[in-house]
Structure formats: structure tokens, C-alpha cells
Amino acid sequence: MGNALAAAAANRLFLSGNDAVAHAARDAGVRVAAAYPGTPSTEILEVLARFPGLYAEWSPNEKVALEVALGASMMGARAFSAMKHVGLNVASDALMTMTVTGVEGGLVIAVADDVGMSSSQNEQDSRFWGRFAHVPVLEPADSQEAYDMTRAAFRLSEQFRVPVILRLTTRICHVKGRVELSPVETHEPTGFTKDPRRWVMVPGNAKPRLPLMFEREAALRAEAGNSPLNCIESGPDRRIGFVTSGPAYMHVREAFPDAPVLKLGMSYPLPLGLVRELAAGVETLLVVEETEPLVEAEIKAAGIACVGKDVLPRLGELSPEVLRRGVARLRGEASPEVDALPAQQVFPRPPTMCVACPHLGIYYTLSQLKNIIISGDIGCYTLGAGHPWNALDTCISMGASMGMALGMDKARGEVDKNKKIVAVIGDSTFMHMGMQGLLDITYNGGNVTVLLLDNRAVGMTGGQDNPATGRDIHGAEAPRVDFPRMCEALGVKKERIRVVDPYQLPVLFKTLREETKIDEPSVIITDRPCVLIDDYKKTPPYAVIDDTCTGCGNCLEVGCPAIHVTRRDKAIKPSGKEVDLAFVRIETSACTGCGLCVQPCAPKAIVHALPVVPVRFMSRS
């Protein structure tokens, strides 16, 4: 009895959606898993990499990750790839052809949409890819469904020889719940079967496969109508019936527990038969879907009357409060009051970089330069757009800083002819999509200075390893990219490649001034590790001598969050001009001794903190 209880407890875990997907991939017999880190999907592969018996890797970008998974599937192995929503844009080149070839071993693509844009540059709806690529889309509503639907996705993939998209959202990825694991499957690769007509996608081979793709889609549509993943839940209140999926289903159930609901676990292909069945039994059909009205448009196109974005917003999460207000508008009722605590006045806490972040010195220096346009990129260094630096002028997508900088250079007219153009990009982003941009700059003779910020980590998503760290996903030694040699191979002259310490502000300033004056491509590589990884070594902290501090505030312009203002004042200069003063202290428990704040301090009021000498008490004998 005790052994049975222990076994049952071992199969009952408290998991986030990301954790649940990883456990499901393992239990489904996945042999190869590949991803590029991106919030909110990052943890899926981090968890998978801990499991023995399968191969997991951080790929240079999502396209490569999906191609690795497809190669494994061609060998008859079960394969898995994970990415955030904008990552699927990168991987779509491979996706749009593998939907024609189909797959052999089950292939599941977990895509995490950032509804509400907590850590993304857009609020993209990945359900579009199901329709675009003619592949099924599954949408779990909690951690248990994330586990179960991942397992089901592999079976569906092999049954129809099609890649399956598992669409997650931030709420599913990061919220935890109890998960019951199901029996583990073993899945041995069946081996690669040579078939050029299927795997070699030249036009002559691809054209005959297109009808097969549409036949498969028709079969999937029939499957969606019979699948237990899609079900109608009855309810006594027939005034409004809901069609919904994912976490929005949970919100509908919380807000309207007595309403009939069509819960879509497989949201594409859409089971129109079930939609008609629900519509026939309710007065009004309301489609509740976060972000885009995809399902609503399909239902209306099928001639079924429904309401959706007429009363519900197209952005952000559809919380129970939002749903209640929408339904009140639909019924012509007064919008219900939302029970909530009164808003508390709290101090502003804008996002900033870490204490001693090597990017601090970069943006401090850039903020001192005049007549400059700074093309930015995706990473921790995107924060350079904020206070106190205000030293980033653009940020669009991974690797965009390079091509955009070249475009700015080539488009400059009389008004901008004397401006310097700088592109800022991180090490992981450079390898993800930036290398091609640098090649474009050198090939087409762009007058751009590139700041390549090598902090030896994918910093924004938690310090994951990449080809520039010298370690693989398991921390084992791996070849480390040599950025100076890489940049030279991409066409930058050797003398125009400079490696500098971002903590040495005078050297950094001088190097930037020199390279931006050169009328040809140049690259400045900064080489200090992220302060949150093991490679970073702290030194003794600094402190402020109160009697020496003049309140000039120069140290605050570095932007280090370990520096706090203790008192503000005003003073009159000999010229009669009034100036603001800011007297500061340094949080020595947070300071790592990087020395960035010491260099702009005019009165030399910042020195190494005195060590704390422990007091020893002597006992009386």
C-alpha cells in the first residue's frame, strides 16, 4: 500500500505550464529538442535539458532550432522545438515548407505568445500560423492540459504526419498547478527513408504534394469535430453561449459559471459542427479569444451569427472583470463595478540595468556624444533607451540594428550628412540575426560603427549559454566564437576592429570618437561578463565620503541602481545660474566594485569602502 501511494505521489507534481510541457515531451519519448531562449518560453528547454536520455540544445536562432527538430523527425524520431511568438516568425521559412513535406516522427512546436506584452515588442497571435501553414493548433488552459495536450500533440503529429503547434501564453507558461503524469512512452527512431520526391522540395517535387496537404487538412477538420479536446459544456443560463480556448476559458468559467461553453482544445481546424450545435441552443453566441478575432471571423464566414470584438478588447488578457463589462455592454446593462482595492500611491520603479552591468558604461558614453544616431536591438541593452541615458533611438526586432543602421546611412540627406551612425547589438543577438547585417554593411560599404556587446550570456532571458560562452546547454566545454576573427571574416578591416573594457570609460569614449570619425565600417567589441553569471568576479565595494561629495550628480548619469540620492539641494554658480545638487550614497551590499561611478566623480568623493571588522567579545574567566 505504501509503495503504491509513493508511486502515485511521484506522478503528481506542482508544475508551471513550461515545466509541464517539458515533462510531457520527455514522457512522450522525445529524442531531440532544440530552442532559442525567449520569454515566456525559455524554461521549457532548460527543464528538458536536465532529463537524461534525450538530446537538447540552445540553437543560434529559432529557424535553426526548428530545422534541427525536422531533421530528427526525418529520422523517425520524436522531436520538439520551443520558441516565443516572434521566434516563430524567424522559423517560419522552415515551417512553411515542412507543412508540404509533412513529418515522420512526431514533431511538436511549442510557441509562447506574450499576451499583454510583458516582455515583447508586439502582441502577436500565433494561431495565424496554423491557418497559414495548414497545421493543427492546440491550446491548453492550465498546466495539466499543457502536459496532456503535449502528449496528444505527438500522437496527432504522427497520425497525420504533420507538425503540430502547441500555442501557449504567458499565463499558461508561468502559472503553476498540480499535474498528474501519465505512463511514459518509449519511441525508437524508425530510420531515414530516402524519398527525394518528398524531402527534396524543388518545384517539380513540391507541386504534387500540395493536394496531399489540403487532403490532410480536410481530414484534420473531421478530426477536430470528433476530438475530445473540443467539447461543449452545458449550463442553465442560455442567454449567452461562449466559444473560447486557452486561459480565456478559465476566465469565462470564473465569470459565468452557469453559461454553456464550447471549449476549444484544438482551435484549428475549427469544429464548425460543434459551433452550430452551441449556437442553436443559446440566444447569443459570444467568441472570447485573446488578441485577434480569428475564430470570430471563421464563424461569421460560415454564416453563423456571433459577437466578439464588438464588445471585447483586441489587446491584453481577457480577465473576468473585462468579460463581465463586455457582457454588460452586450446586454445593454450598466457596466458592473469591479471589486478592487483602491490604487496605492507607490514610488515609480522603471526598468533598469543591474548593478555593475557592463552595458552601463556603454550608454553613459553614448549619452555624452553629440550628433549621433543610435540603432538599437533586442536584449538587456534595450534598456539604454531609458533614464538616465536616453541613448537608443530605434529598437524593432532581433538583428535589426545592423540593417537599419545601413539603411540610415544610405538614406541620409543634407540634414543628416554629418551625423554619426552607431549600431548596438549583443553577442547572442549578433549570432542570432546580426551577422548577416554586418555582412551587408561591409559588402555595401556602409559608414556604420557597430558596438558588439559581448557579456558571455543571453542576459535578458536569464543568462543562458550560447556559442560565444564556451559552454553548451549542460555547462560542458564547447568551442567559443572569436568575435574579432568573425568580424574580420565578414569584411571588417582588422585595424577597424577594437576590443575594449566597458568599465574603462576614458578608453571607451576615445575609441568611440575615433571609430565614428572613420568613413568605413568599424566594430568595437566590449568584453566583460554579465554580472549575474559565474564568470563575473566581484571586487571590493565603493562608498561615498559625505564631506567630500559636492552633489554634482555625475555618478548618477552612469545609471547604476546601487547609487541612491540622499538629499537634493540647489546652488548658485558664480555666473548667477542656479544648479540642482544631488548628494548620494552607495549601497555597499549591492556594489560589486566595478568602478564606473568613480571615473566621472569630479571631487573624488567615491573610494573603496572600509572593510567591516567583526567585534570580538571576551568572556570573563
On whether the CB atoms of residues 409 and 448 are closer than 8 A, the answer is yes
- Per DSSP, 470 falls in state T
User: Does the pLDDT value for residue 334 go beyond 90?
Assistant: no
Least confident residue range of 156-165, 480-489, 603-612: 603-612
User: Read out DSSP for 444-492?
Assistant: TT---EEEEEE-SSBGGGT-B--TTTTB-TTS-B-----HHHHHHHTT-
Distance from C-alpha of 83 to C-alpha of 89, rounded to nearest angstrom: 10
What does the domain layout of the chain look like in residue ranges?
11-226, 230-331, 359-527, 542-608
Q: Work out the mean pLDDT of the chain and round it to a whole number.
A: 94
Q: Quick one: average pLDDT of 229-253?
A: 97
Q: Quick one: average pLDDT of 50-66?
A: 97
Cell digits of residue 188: 525508437
Helix or strand holding residue 426 (H, E) = strand 420-426
Q: Indicate yes or no: pTM above 0.75.
A: yes
User: Does the pLDDT value for residue 46 go beyond 90?
Assistant: yes
In 270-358, alpha helices (H)? 272-280, 294-301, 320-331
Q: Quick one: average pLDDT of 258-263?
A: 98
The confidence score (pLDDT) of residue 621 equals: 40
Q: Which residues contact 8 (CB under 8 A, 6 or more apart)?
A: none
| Residue pLDDT, tens place only, 5-27 | 566 667 899 999 999 999 999 99
User: Does the pLDDT value for residue 344 go beyond 90?
Assistant: no
Identify the sign of the CA torsion 42, 45, 46, 47.
positive
547589438: which residue's cell? Answer: 425
The confidence score (pLDDT) of residue 218 equals: 96
Interior CA angle at 538 toward 533 and 541, to 5°? 140
Cell digits of residue 85: 511568438
| Residue pLDDT, tens place only, 530-568 | 999 999 999 999 999 999 999 999 999 999 999 999 999
User: Does the pLDDT value for residue 340 go beyond 50?
Assistant: no
Distance from C-alpha of 279 to C-alpha of 303, rounded to nearest angstrom: 11
The confidence score (pLDDT) of residue 197 equals: 96
Instruction: State the architecture of 11-226 in CATH terms.
Output: 3-Layer(aba) Sandwich (3.40)
User: Does the pLDDT value for residue 45 go beyond 70?
Assistant: yes
Distance from C-alpha of 450 to C-alpha of 356, rounded to nearest angstrom: 22
Residue 209: pLDDT band (50, 70, 90) is: very high
| Residue pLDDT, tens place only, 398-415 | 999 999 999 999 999 999
Q: Quick one: average pLDDT of 213-231?
A: 96
CB atoms within 10 A of CB 145: 23
CATH dotted code for 542-608: 3.30.70
- Which residue in 469, 457, 607 sits closest to 546, CA to CA? 607
Q: Which residues contact 78 (CB under 8 A, 6 or more apart)?
A: 28, 29, 30, 31, 72, 105, 106, 107, 154, 187
The confidence score (pLDDT) of residue 41 equals: 97
CATH dotted code for 230-331: 3.40.50.920
The confidence score (pLDDT) of residue 10 equals: 76
CA dihedral 206, 212, 216, 217 (to 10 degrees): 70
Q: Quick one: average pLDDT of 468-478?
A: 93
Q: Quick one: average pLDDT of 472-499?
A: 97
Cα 283 to the center of its chain, rounded Å: 41
The two domains 11-226 and 359-527 share their CATH topology (first three levels equal): yes
Residue 573: pLDDT band (50, 70, 90) is: confident
User: Domain spanning 359-527: which superfamily?
Assistant: Thiamin diphosphate (ThDP)-binding fold, Pyr/PP domains (3.40.50.970)
Distance from C-alpha of 559 to C-alpha of 528, rounded to nearest angstrom: 17
Strands 606-608 and 542-544: antiparallel
Cell digits of residue 168: 501557449
Residue 69: pLDDT band (50, 70, 90) is: very high
Q: How far is CA 305 from CA 230, 279, 536, in A?
A: 20, 8, 61
User: Does the pLDDT value for residue 143 go beyond 80?
Assistant: yes
